[in-house]
């Protein structure tokens, strides 16, 4: 039996070429203005106005416009000052103890101090934004996403929220109100956080190699790697080669080995000669050492997985990784994606993720997704879930 070959042709184009670095998201400026501070990132502007107890959200990627505002509570911005700043983030402290951090991927993280009991009520609204009328609206206990064809904003608790947010949608715009407990944080994002990489879109095409399975047993295959002839033939169709889990001798374990190490190295070597970039299967979600007894993620889950990812990249001379899912936790998925990009540099990260980090296929998290080169969505879903705006962001 021949291999079952599935092609995902994401990007029309020809051979692999040098692609402009798309991940140089940064905090570009922190300016003290007449009424507070303005923090400018690659994709957004955040104007913190203490006298109004509000923060204006401005989209930059795709054209400048005001999206709305965030109200973290009266007096919470008093005594605002810059506590830390580099190209990755800017931290502003206040007399209230509430911490405001703007990150390079266009996220405002609002942290309630442990001593502020019973917590903080944060409201985000679009009502003051005449250029932004959301066409795609999704609001659940785990987050809220408001988009149109150009972009939008999202509100995500970085804690296990116990109740749905107070959400309103009327002629005056949309609003969402979230209670942040002491010691916890809320992420408010502007998206897209960076321009789309059109050069990569034109020049890179993906070939998925799905092996024949033995008696339909997932993860087991009598011939899990492509032949030399298949590699040569497929090169006419693509230049990014994805190898799925069947060639590994194990699943979700530390320092995983190929079932046939010699053949795997031959495949990688020939693929490189032919001009492929090789992305083998890996997974944060299924990485067993990151899970504590009882099924919860360990506190050091990100460190544990990234150590494994670095080992994979160095041990097997591959050109990136194909992730099957991400951590089912927004904060850990975000941290892992950011740090994975630092580890990869210009190597590729391909993320197959339909329902994570939130168990909702209609509620993606833009500041997690943005660190990937390619995204694959829609596994097991009907067309009602595959909304054009959802796919875009």
Report the sign of the C-alpha dihedral through residues 59, 125, 154, 56, in that order. positive
**One domain, residues 64 and 179:** yes
**One domain, residues 64 and 35:** yes
**One domain, residues 84 and 178:** yes
Q: Which of 191, 221, 236 is the last residue of a domain?
A: 191
pLDDT at 2: 35
Indicate the number of domains in the chain.
Answer: 2
Q: Which of 147, 164, 191 is the last residue of a domain?
A: 191
Nearest to 238 by CA among 5, 12, 20, 21: 12
pLDDT tens per residue across span 18-62: 445 678 899 999 999 999 999 999 999 999 999 999 999 999 998
**One domain, residues 171 and 218:** no
Question: Is 74 exposed, middle or buried (CB count within 10 Å of its CB: 0-12, 13-18, 19+)?
Answer: exposed
Which residues does 121 contact at the CB level (< 8 Å), separation at least 6? 73, 177, 178, 179, 180
pLDDT tens per residue across span 103-121: 999 999 999 999 999 999 9
Q: Tokens representing 383?
A: 């067309």
Which residues does 27 contact at the CB level (< 8 Å), separation at least 6? 39, 40, 41, 85, 86, 87, 88, 89, 90, 102, 103, 104
Range of the domain at 318: 4-21+197-392
Residue 360: CATH number of its domain: 3.20.20
**One domain, residues 44 and 10:** no
Q: Tokens representing 159?
A: 């804690």
In angstroms, the CA 269 to CA 226 distance is: 13
pLDDT at 182: 98
pLDDT at 21: 64
């Amino acid at each position: 039996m021949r291999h079952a070959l599935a092609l995902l042709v994401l990007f029309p184009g020809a051979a692999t070429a040098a692609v402009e670095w798309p991940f140089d998201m940064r905090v570009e400026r922190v300016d003290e203005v007449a009424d507070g501070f303005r923090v400018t990132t690659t994709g957004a502007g955040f104007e913190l106005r203490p006298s109004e107890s509000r923060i204006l959200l401005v989209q930059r990627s795709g054209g400048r416009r005001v999206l709305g505002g965030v109200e973290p509570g009266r007096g919470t911005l008093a005594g605002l000052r810059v506590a830390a700043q580099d190209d990755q983030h800017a931290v502003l402290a206040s007399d209230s103890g509430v911490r405001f951090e703007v990150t390079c991927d266009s996220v405002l993280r609002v942290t309630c101090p442990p001593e502020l009991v019973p917590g903080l009520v944060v409201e985000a609204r679009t009502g003051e934004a005449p250029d932004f009328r959301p066409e795609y609206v999704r609001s659940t206990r785990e987050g809220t996403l408001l988009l149109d064809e150009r972009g939008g904003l999202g509100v995500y608790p970085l804690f296990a929220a116990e109740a749905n947010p107070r959400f309103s949608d009327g002629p005056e715009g949309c609003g969402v109100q979230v209670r942040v407990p002491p010691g916890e944080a809320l992420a408010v994002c502007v998206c897209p956080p960076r321009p789309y990489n059109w050069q990569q879109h034109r020049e890179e095409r993906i070939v998925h190699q799905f092996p024949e399975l033995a008696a339909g047993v997932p993860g087991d295959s009598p011939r899990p790697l492509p032949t030399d002839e298949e590699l040569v033939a497929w090169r006419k169709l693509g230049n990014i080669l994805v190898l799925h889990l069947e060639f590994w001798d194990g699943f979700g374990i530390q320092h995983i080995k190929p079932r046939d190490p010699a053949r795997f190295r031959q495949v990688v070597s020939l693929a490189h000669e032919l001009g492929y970039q090789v992305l083998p299967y890996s997974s944060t979600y299924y990485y067993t050492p990151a899970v504590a007894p009882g099924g919860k993620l360990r506190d050091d889950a990100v460190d544990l997985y990234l150590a494994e990812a670095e080992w994979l990249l160095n041990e097997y001379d591959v050109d990136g990784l194909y992730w099957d899912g991400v951590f089912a936790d927004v904060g850990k998925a975000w941290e892992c994606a950011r740090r994975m990009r630092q580890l990869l540099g210009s190597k590729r990260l391909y993320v197959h993720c339909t329902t994570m980090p939130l168990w909702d296929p209609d509620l993606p998290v833009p500041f997690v997704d943005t660190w990937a080169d390619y995204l694959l969505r829609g596994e097991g879903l009907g067309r009602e879930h595959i909304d054009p705006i959802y796919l875009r962001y």
